[in-house]
A and B are shown apart, each in its own frame.
Chain A
Amino acid sequence: MPSSLAAPVLGIVPENAEALVQRFETSPLLRAARSEALAAYFALASGRAPAGRYWKVDLDALDLSRVEVRAETTPPRIAATLSRGAIACDLATARRAHPQLLERALGTAVDARTRKFASLANAFGNTGAFVYVPAGVSVDNPIEIAYAAGEIALFPHTIVLAEAGARCTVICTLEGGAEGSFVCGIDEIVTGERASVSFASVQMLALGARSLFTRAARPGKDAHLAWAIAELGADLCASTVEIEIEQTGVDAQIAAVFCPSGDQHVDLVSSVDHRVGQARSETIVRSAATGSGQARYLGNINIAAHAQGSNASLRDDALLLSKKAHVDSVPALEIAANDVKAYHGATVGALDEEQIFYMTSRGIERDEAERMIVLGFFEPVIDRFPTRELRERIRAALQAKVG
C-alpha cells in the first residue's frame, strides 16, 4: 500500500497522462497507441447511470489517483492439455511466437476506441492470455487461466480464437488482491463456423478491490457460444458482456450470477445483438443482494429489422435478502424485425414465505431454510459453469455470502 514514506504513486489522472505512458512503455510506436487509449479513457463516458440513492459509485469519475500502474506483472497461471496445434499461452508469449494468429482476433470483438474501460485496459495492458484452437480440433479438458491480483494494478486481456469446427472450454478466474487492488480487463472470443466455445469468467477478488471488465464475442456461422459469468468478489465490479450475432445459425448463451453482500456494488450489462436472422440467444441472470449490497443489471436484446427468424430470450430474477440491499433490473428489448421469437421476464422480490414455511415445517431452521432456498435459486445459472469443481467453488463462495 502507498504510504507517506514511499515515493508518491503516479496515479491515473489526466495531468499524469504523459508521464505515466513514458514510464510504462519504452517503444515509441506503442507509446503513441497507449497515449491515445488513455486519452480515450479520459474523454469517453461510461454510458452507465450516475450514482443515486443506493448506488454510490460514479463510474465516470472513478478516483484512480492511488492506482499503481506498472508494466511488469506476473503472467497468469495457465493449465491445459493441448494437442494438434492448439495453443494456450500468456499474451507476451503469444506476441512473440504467434503474432499473426493473435492479430486476427486481438481487438476485433471489443472496439476499445468507443469503450471507456476497454480503453483504460488497452492503455496499460500488462498481462493476458491467448487461446487458439485450429480448425476441427477439439480440446477436451478445460483450459484454465488464472489471474492473481496484487498491489500492482492488473490490466488483463484474454483472447480466444477458435477456428471452424473447433471446440474448447475456457475457465478464466480472477482472484487475490486486497484493499485498493485495481483490475481492468478485456475478454474477447472470436470463432469460425460451427465452432463451439464455452467460456467461464469467475471473479473472486478480495474485498476492497475494484474490477472493471469489457467482454465481447463474435461467433461464426452456426457456432455455439456459452458465456458463464460469476461476479462474486471486489467492492466494486462493473462489467459488460456483449455477443454480436453477425452470422446465421448462431446459438449463444449468457448466464450470469452475482450476489453483492456487505458494501459490494455490482453493475452488469449484457447485450445480445441479433444483426442477422435465423440465430438463437438465451440470457439468464440470477442475483441476490444482502447486507448493504447494491446491484444493477441492464439486459439488452437488439434484433435488427432484417434479422427475421431470430429467437431471443432474456430471463432475469433477483432476490432481496435485506432491507438495505437493492437490485435494479432493467430488461431492454429493441426489436425491429416482425418475424421473431423474443421473450423476456424479470422479477425482483423477497424470499417466498410459503417456501420457507414448507421447509421449516419439516424441522429445518428458518436460517438454514433461507440459505438452502437462496442457493437453490442460483442453481440454474451455476449449472451453466463447465466443471463440477468450478460449480462447487462458486456454490461455496455464494454460501459464504448468504450464510
Chain B
Amino acid sequence: MSEPGLRIHDLRASVAGNDILKGIDLTVEPGKVHALMGPNGSGKSTLAFSLSGHPGYVVTGGTATLDGENLLDLLPDKRAKAGLFLSFQYPAAIPGVKVANFLYAARQAVRPGDLTPAKFRALLVEKMELLDMDPTFLGRYLNDGFSGGEKKRLEMLQLAVLAPRYAILDETDSGLDVDALRAVGESVRAMRDSDEGRATGFLIITHYPRILHHVKPDAVHVMVGGRIVKQGGADLAELIERDGYDKIREEIEAIA
C-alpha cells in the first residue's frame, strides 16, 4: 500500500455536460479534520458525489485514491467497503426499509461478520445514547417522514456505526438547527475519541463556518468556481465568518 490518506489529484468532473470541478488537489490524512468551504455553487457537493461514485457525476480527469486504492474505478458500494463514507445533505427516504435492518446490512457490508446481531444491537444502543436518539428510531422507515434534524442524526448514527476510514460530511446549505449542529459536532468528536474512529480522516464540506465551532479543523480549504483557491488553518474559517467570501473573491480577481 502506498501513502495513506484520501488523496485527490487534479480531479475534474462534470454534471449533465457542465464542467464543475476544474482540477481539485486535496489530501485528507488519517485522523485529521479538513474543512472545505465555499460559496453556493462552487462545486463542493460535486466533489463529494464524485468521490462517492454517484452515477450522475462524471469524472473527466484526475485521480482519487483511498490509502492507495484507486477509488474512481470502483462502484459506490466498493468505495464504501474501501472505507469511504458520505454523510448526505439530503438523504433519500426509503419507505418500508427499517432503520435497524438498513444499519445492520450496511455494517455487514463494510465489515462482514465482525459483530453478532446481539453485539451489533449493543453497539447501536450505545451510539444512539451518545447521539441522544430515541430507540423507536430503529423501527421507523429509513428517512421516511424524518425532520431535517432527524435525518442528520441518522447520518451521524451511520457514521458512528460504520466507522469509516474517511468521512465526507456534506453540510453545504443545510439549515441545521443548533441541536442538529451539536449532534454533528458531538458525533465527530465521539468518533475521534473511539478506538474505531481515532484514525478516521474527515472532510467537512460547509458553506457557513458555524459547524466549525463544534469541530475544530486542522486545515481549511476554500473552493470557488470548481477550484481550491485558498488554504489555511482554522483561522481561515474565522476570517470567512467575519468577511464572507467576497474578500477572497476580490483577492483572486486581483491576482487574475
Contact = CB atoms under 8 A, between A and B. Distances in A.
Interface of A: 352-355, 357-366, 368-369, 372-373, 375-380
Question: Ordered nearest first, which 5 A-B pairs have the shortest CB separation?
Answer: A376-B96, A379-B96, A363-B109, A363-B80, A362-B106
Given A361-B54, A361-B80, A363-B81, 9 more contacts: A357-B54, A359-B94, A361-B52, A362-B102, A362-B110, A364-B106, A366-B77, A376-B142, A379-B141
Given A361-B86, A362-B158, A363-B110, A352 B92 contact: yes
B80 A360 contact: yes
- Helix, strand, loop or mixed for chain A's interface? helix
Contacts of A365: 77, 109
Nearest to B161: A362
9 contacts: A358-B88, A362-B80, A362-B106, A363-B77, A363-B109, A366-B75, A368-B105, A376-B95, A376-B141
Contacts of B110: 362-363
A379 B97 CA distance: 8
Interface residues of B, number: 31
Contacts of B86: 361
B39 interface: no
B53 interface: yes
B175 interface: no
A376 to B, nearest CB: 3
B80 A378 contact: no
A375 B94 CA distance: 11
Given A365-B77, A375-B96, A357 B158 contact: no
B91 interface: yes
A364 B105 contact: yes
Contacts of A363: 77, 80-81, 106, 109-110, 162
B76 interface: yes
A116 B159 CA distance: 59
A357 B90 CA distance: 12
Interface string B96-136: 11000110011001100000000000000000000000000
A357 B105 contact: no
Given A358-B88, A361-B86, A378-B96, A372 B105 contact: yes
Interface in B12-66: 52-56
